[in-house]
Amino acid sequence: PERERSVKQLIGRVVDTITAWAKKQDYFATPDALQAFSDDLKHLLVHQKAAFNSPVWFNCGFEKAPQCSACFINSVDDTMDSILGLAKTEGMLFKYGSGTGSNLSAIRSSKELLAGGGTASGPVSFMKGFDAFAGVIKSGGKTRRAAKMVILNAEHPDIVEFINCKVEEEKKAWALIDQGYDGSFNGVAYSSVFFQNSNNSVRVTDEFMRAVLDDGVWQTKAVTNGDVVDTYKARDLMRSIAEGTWVCGDPGMQFDTTVNEWHTSPNTARINASNPCSEYMFLDDSACNLASINLMKFVKDDGEFDVDGFKAACRTLITAQEILVDNSSYPTKAIEKNSHAYRPLGLGYANLGALLMSRGLPYDSDTGRDYAGAITAVMTGEAYAQSARVARDHGGPFTGYAANREPFLRVMRKHRDAIKDINQKNVPADLYAGAKQSWDEAVELGEDFGYRNAQATVLAPTGTIGFMMDCDTTGVEPDIALVKYKKLVGGGMMKIVNQTVPMALKKLGYTQAQVADIIQFIDEQETIEGAPHL
């Protein structure tokens, strides 16, 4: 097709494709309702109020069945065929710009024997091969790194090797840099060492965390027969995890017990893994389509949050994402089957840090947390309520719902009950009421009609699409600096200046003249430290 040269062409391609699918599958009762949906979606995208995940922008409208999901979870078994199959699946996902995660704990450890004699290689050894493929293919065949998550359970016999593997490679890279090799993002030093294309996470249970608190022991167990292999002090393992994170950012931690307590479909299978950034946690061999809402675009002229407009945006986006499910392609038959049977979606938001800043709220404060909790409750409640409406009006609940109805509704009620933990004194009345109403509707509609989607919301990092929406802050994170420089993988630097500071200063009571002085200082010094009037 001809190269696109405008935002109008880009958004037109995506929305017109989704609208055509909606018409073909009778998602809307009347042509007017379909047109209103299309207009609403274009409005949200054109005005940078929302954005789909990158694969939708890359692929939707170019192919009959495009790969539209950014996040995948892949299973692996303790066979060579399965291990090599995972490498192929990951490679195809990276090719189309998506990311993937896997829990490798099913692979027998390097301390166990093979059936035909000899000792197994262990998951960390195979990770080197997976990492090499990811480094060659990259993301979407471009210069951006592939997005990849590797998880190992704390009871796996190779857990110590896993915890330390990236730390050891980091030290090798430092040695190369000391010898004069290029230490940049795509430089020779880091491209010469392993594990640079993945995020690593240790999966721990409440039992492990209690052992850490009580200074107890922790035993690893053989994959093949469950026998105890090694015994450690739990605090020694925790110290190694913390030190690794301090040195190179890995490994992270995932809290298995909590994750599975909030699982909507536990009667199907447990949650073992996540996508690369850990926002999507669901069944093995599943995919999630993401979209994020730019919170700052819902701040009204008086500085207050447009709750009704935000809810409407949530409804429109959940509907659009639901339409994508049946019209997308998936890399394996297992993922395709689960995507159609469970239909998980990931609506989220960006710019929370800027929103709190605009209100003069410290990010690390009870008031900030309560406000963030209320915003998140509105989005999640409205998303599940809309999912229930779609189930009522189009197609019924997802295929796996009947088997999971009781635990699903239990989790929905847990969400609704959690609103009581938000301090009403710290939240505007209309925002708190909006959160309560959305969750009341989500539970009531779900009890009557079920839900179309086994999962509706996640909080993604929103890196690429955050730039697309001109967000000052990504996902749920605060700003790391008021003036930042982003090194571009194609070369060059981009200067990013936080645009929310004047609003924050005004909210905190500074005069117009004082604000002008402070902003001038930030422009010149690239920091607010030492600015006048503070």
Q: State yes or no: pLDDT of 142 exceeds 60.
A: no
pLDDT at 209 over 70: yes
Is 447 a residue of the active site? no
Positive/negative CA dihedral, 468, 472, 478, 482: positive
**Annotation marks residue 68 as catalytic:** no
480 Cβ contact partners less than 8 Å away, ≥ 6 residues apart: none
At 328, list the tokens. Answer: 């997308």
Of the listed ranges 5-9, 15-19, 257-261, 464-468, the one predicted with least confidence? 464-468
> What confidence tens digit (pLDDT) does each residue in 245-279 have?
999 999 999 999 999 999 999 999 999 999 999 99
**Which one is catalytic: 60, 68, 71, 277?**
277
Q: Which residue among the candidates 169, 279, 382, 441 is catalytic per the annotation?
A: 279
Does the model's pTM come out above 0.85?
yes
Catalytic residue status for 275: yes
pLDDT for 141 beyond 60 = no
CA–CA distance, 223 with 156 (Å, rounded to integer): 7
- d(CA 489, CA 463) in angstroms, rounded, equals 14
| Omega of the bond leading into 251 within 30 degrees of 0 (cis) | yes
Residue 487's DSSP bridge partners are: 493
Residues 240 and 163: their CA atoms lie apart, in Å, by 7
Averaged pLDDT score across all residues of the chain: 94
The single residue of 275, 289, 327, 351 carrying the catalytic annotation is 275
Nearest of 311, 316, 261, 351 to residue 436 by alpha carbon: 311
In Å, what is the CA distance from 501 to each residue of 350, 372, 407?
17, 19, 44
Count CB atoms within 10 A of the CB of residue 253: 17
- How confident is the model over 65-78, as a mean pLDDT? 93
Q: Hey, how many other C-beta atoms are within 10 angstroms of the C-beta on 412?
A: 24
- Res. 135 pLDDT band, cuts 50 70 90: confident
